[in-house]
Structure 1
Amino acid sequence: MAKKVSFNKDDTRQHIILLLKYISEGIFEKENILAMSLLCAVAGESIFLLGPPGTAKSLVARRLKLVFKEAKSFEYLMSRFSTPDEIFGPVSISKLKNEDKYERITDGYLPNCTVVFLDEIWKAGPAIQNALLTVINERIYKNGSQTLSLPMKALIAASNELPAENEGVEALWDRFLVRMVSNCISDERTFFKMIRQDRVPEVVIPDELLITDDTFASWQSAIAHITISDETCTIVANIRKLLKEEEKKQKCTTTLDFYVSDRRWKKLFHLMRTSAWLNGRVSTDETDCILLIHCLWNKEEFIAQTIECVMKAFTLHIEQRITKLHTTIDKTIKERSANLPVGKMIEADSFNTYVVERYFYYVLKDYPKGKCLFAKTDFNHLSIGKDTSGIIYMDSNIQNWIIHAIYMGTPFNSKLGSSGKVEKVSLRKCKDGIVVNGTPYAFLRKASGNNANLSNNLFEDEKEPKVNTAFQQLQVELSEISNIFNALSARIAECTNLFVSDDDKKLISQQIKATGKLLNELYIKLNNSQMLL
């Protein structure tokens, strides 16, 4: 008998934490599947587990049944010989004989149970699969002349394969909102911990923790009032766009490869609202969207691409604004440069101002990849208003990045030496430095001497206004982008969503890190461009 536990019954999050602790006991590397199964049960949705035999898929269903008070469970291993009688109950002979009614005896079968587990579901025949459509979606079953409202909270299906194409099971596959991969234990230490375990422990959940029908009903009422945040809608809009783009990129032979029906989207928002409520929030946020990693893929070969679409969607709107601001900076500099007297430009070699290394190279300040050198002799071959082709590579001998302009009369290969991979770049001349791929970098100045007092203007005799309006406007835009990015980054970093695994959080964090790098490059570009705007 389980010990009594003391907890605040109004604290739904703490309630779920305790339930997850009990049902995870003695099960290894299946915590997230158990959590998602519980989420599906509360949301009234179904979950599909893809994985080989012996990976605790049926055990997940047995543990899930334990969280509901007075719950009944139904398990069945499908085969191509399975009949509806074995799933929905045998036909009542007495009613057929005495009342001329074709009805099934459902007690102990699927229509009478709280948690259902159907293994190898795709092997079932059309009669069973067609009946499951309304069972899963509407939670009803037509039993003769009666329409039964089912007590089923969740249906867990499993298989070691996905449904075959062109066999008419697309509608049934679409009903499974959550789709997770159940693999063997991957961590070696965890594996031997499982081996040394005599048997899977019997779990008894304290009565006060069990989810009653009244509790379940009150939760459904509360979930209906959860607000869908603008941030959630933005990420979903990004996902929809990226899935369409991926479908075109993959040149899919069928539109179902990346297809998500309106019904599924409606249910997915309900799932995210359920997640928000069970985590103690009154509104969805970005962490609820992480759950979509396990909800959108249709084919095994496209799982990675679909997950990547979800990852990119978290920062797509931010990266689009970053790209737009890059373009605005380039356009502003180009327009201004075109109207200035190039003849008055201060050439870098006019002053003995800059640090020179290895006799022939200027040093770029704040280059993000590391120390970077630019060939002195190439400077005069650059233009202020027009891009010149160049190359950048890592010189393995000195462990510095090297930039060269490519101009007529200089053999391309003579620039390489013992370098590694070579990348093409665009180069332009600017005040006290060069513009590399649209980002200005100043040359490192010598520390002392009268050179420190040289004019900071791009052109002699030009008087810059005290307030650089163009630069300020760009700074405001960059600040807005940064605020959005920082808010997203903080929410993901502080994510305590009970249904998000560490691995899933890591995937999104990697995407945010990549976008942060782009944002940092934009900061450098704008700051280095200040005197040119």
Structure 2
Amino acid sequence: MTQDSTRQDSAALRADLNAVIGEVAAIYHERDTEARMITVGVLAQQHTLLLGPPGTGKSAIVRELTGRIESGRYWEILLSKFTAPTAIFGPIDVGALAQGTYRQILDGHATTAHVAFLDEIFKCSAAALNSMLAYLNERIYHPESGGAPISCPLVSAVCASNELGEDEATAALYDRLLIRMEVDYLAEADSFDRLLMSAVTGGGQAPTRTTVELTGLLQVAAHEIPAVDLPAPVREAIRDVRSDLRQREITSSDRRWKQAVRVLQAAAWLEGRAAVAVDDLAVLTHVLWDVPSNKSTVSRVIRGYLSPDDRDLANLEDQVDRIAAELDKLIADGDEDELRTWAVNRNVELAQVAKRISAIRDVASRGGRALAPYQQAADRAQQVYTRLLSEALGVAPDKIPALGRRR
């Protein structure tokens, strides 16, 4: 195969993958980011966690996406604390056992899958835990009968859970899941309306169904994505992100940072670039958070490297958080005079913060950027402002003005 034909095949695969992402996002509203990041995870040969309540379509979107991979073997399981290793990796061959031979039936189980969906991953039984860790990290399975480990063709696993694990055993599993995404119920009225109508119409006309070949995916993952360049300016930005997060007491292991590079390369390749760009750092918002409570901090720190306005927004959000923490402390201390004096000063500061957030949001709107992060910052400032006036200065909630301009 010539170099030109290889490039053409690569471009066709890229176009098909982007078509798949678009088609799946059209079926599952407000899930375009999830569809893209699962695809990036497959290209980067890394694992993805979907964290969220039941009924948010976690399993459905995985099945729809992975069902577009021709020749790829898909396997899924709902785990529980009673799940035996043989239920995951292959049951005992009873017929062979009757002949005095102990072996497992591996075909059709995790051991032969290219993509695996592991539902309720943190309920993995203690008996299966070590085998699962080796499976996710090293792509091997140690058979029940002993002997040499079995190499597994796993490209990527997508795991789902309604909640995070709370013990050291599940922490080891959690560490194997590089891409982490919270999936919530639909937020936009239009999306919810389309959901209701899909129940009436049965989903409407069958959408276009683009597929991709496993062989092409494996070729790109093995050869093209590792060759995507990581230029010096991007490396410098990554070092700065790491430093900024450390200052906020959010740290990631060296292994996670190294694996994150492959995710950046996959994201750049999917956009048709031969080198990672600073804009690709946006995918790290789904890699560097450890617990949901620090996800928003990671997101705004990274956004600060995507544009000067977003860097200002990150600092403004930090300022709002600091005022909220001070308010909580003063209320807990119970000194009403000190609280009132403090609130009078912070009232002006919050109004200025909200005005700047509104201006940044307007610039983002004119630039065609998604407004959700900016509106969330404005809503957070309004929430703290309302608390400050009502709880510290005794202003009736219905008399509190709206900060900034709302769209």
How does the TM-score come out when normalised to structure 2? 0.69
- Using CA pairs under 8 Å that are at least 6 residues apart, name the structure with larger relative contact order, 1 or 2: 2
Whichever structure has more strand as a proportion of its residues is: 1
Among candidates 260, 267, 273, match of residue 281 of structure 1: 273
The CA deviation at 1:503 is: 5.9
Q: CA deviation at 1:40?
A: 0.5
Give the equivalent residue in structure 2 for 1:116: 116
Picking from 220, 223, 226, the partner of 1:224 is: 226
Aligned partner of residue 180 in structure 2, secondary structure: strand
Q: Corresponding residue for 1:154?
A: 156
Q: Secondary structure at the match of 2:159?
A: strand
Q: 2-side partners of 1:219 and 1:74: how far apart?
A: 20
Contact 1:115–1:155 (CA under 8 A) maintained in structure 2:
yes
1:298 aligns with 2:290: yes
Aligned partner letter, 2:156: A
Residue in structure 2 matching 1:145, options 141, 147, 162: 147
Matched, 1:18 2:22: no
Mark the runs of 5 or more structure 1 residues left unpaired by the alignment.
Answer: 1-7, 248-257, 321-418, 424-488, 496-501, 511-533
Amino acid at match of 1:268: A
Rounded Cα–Cα distance in structure 1 between residues aligned with 2:257 and 2:38: 19
Structure 2 alignment gaps of length 5 or more? 1-7, 313-344, 350-362, 379-407
Distance apart, 1:70 and its partner CA: 1.9
Equivalences for 1:350-365 in 2 at 5 Å?
none
The one-letter code of the counterpart of 2:170 is V
Partner of 1:116: helix, strand, or coil? Answer: strand
Q: Deviations over 1:390-444 (max 9, x none)?
A: xxxxxxxxxxxxxxxxxxxxxxxxxxxxx99668xxxxxxxxxxxxxxxxxxxxx
Shift, 1:177, TM fit: 0.6
Aligned to 1:217, what secondary structure does the other structure show? helix
Match of 1:186 in 2: 187
In the other structure, the counterpart of 1:310 is 302
RMSD (Å), alpha carbons? 3.3
What displacement does 1:20 show? 1.6
Give the 3-state SS of the residue equivalent to 1:152 in structure 2. Answer: coil
Larger radius of gyration: 1
Give SS of 1:53's match: coil
Answer with 137-146 or 259-268: which moved more.
137-146
Corresponding residue for 1:61? 62
Residues 366-381 of structure 1: pairs in structure 2 closer than 5 A: none
Asked if the contact 1:49–1:57 (Cα under 8 Å) also holds between the matched residues in 2, the reply is yes
Counterpart AA for 2:104: R
CA contact (8 A) 2:303 2:311 kept: no
Q: Secondary structure at the match of 1:270?
A: helix
- Structure 1 equivalent of residue 259 of structure 2: 267
Aligned equivalent of 2:359: none
Structure 1's 95 and 505: CA in aligned 2 closer, same or farther, altered over 3 A? farther
How does 1:397-416 map onto structure 2 within 5 Å?
none
1:342-397 Cα deviation digits (max 9, x unpaired): xxxxxxxxxxxxxxxxxxxxxxxxxxxxxxxxxxxxxxxxxxxxxxxxxxxxxxxx
Change (3 A) 1:242 1:148: same
Contact 1:177/1:268 (8 A) holds in 2: yes
Counterpart of 1:132?
A: 132
- Tell me what 1:196 maps to: 197
Contact 1:116 1:155 in 2 (8 A): yes
Displacement of 1:79: 1.7
> 1:260 offset after TM fit, Å?
1.2
**Alignment: residue pair count:** 318
**Is 1:47–2:32 an aligned residue pair?**
no
Structure 2 partner of 1:340: none
| TM-score (norm: length of structure 1) | 0.54
Encode CA deviations 1:502-525: one digit per residue, 9 max, x unaligned.
Answer: 468869x99xxxxxxxxxxxxxxx
CA distance in 2, matches of 1:196, 1:146: 54
CA 1:131/1:22 → structure 2, altered by over 3 Å: closer, same or farther?
Answer: same
The answer for the alignment partner of 1:105 in structure 2 is 105
Post-superposition CA distance 1:240-291 (Å, at most 9, x none):
11222111xxxxxxxxxx3311111111001101111121111000111010
Q: 1:52 deviation in Å?
A: 0.5
Q: Give percent identity, aligned residues only.
A: 26
Higher share in helix: 2
How far residue 296 of structure 1 moved from its aligned partner, in angstroms, is 1.0
Q: Is the 8 A contact 1:290 1:504 kept in 2?
A: no
Equivalent residue for 2:168? 167
Tell me the secondary structure at the aligned position of residue 155 of structure 1: strand
Distance 1:28 1:171 in 2: 32
- Deviation string, structure 1 residues 480-505 (Cα, Å, up to 9, x no partner): xxxxxxxxx99xx699xxxxxx4688
Match of residue 241, structure 2, among 239, 242, 249: 239
Q: Is the 8 A contact 2:42 2:156 kept in 1?
A: yes
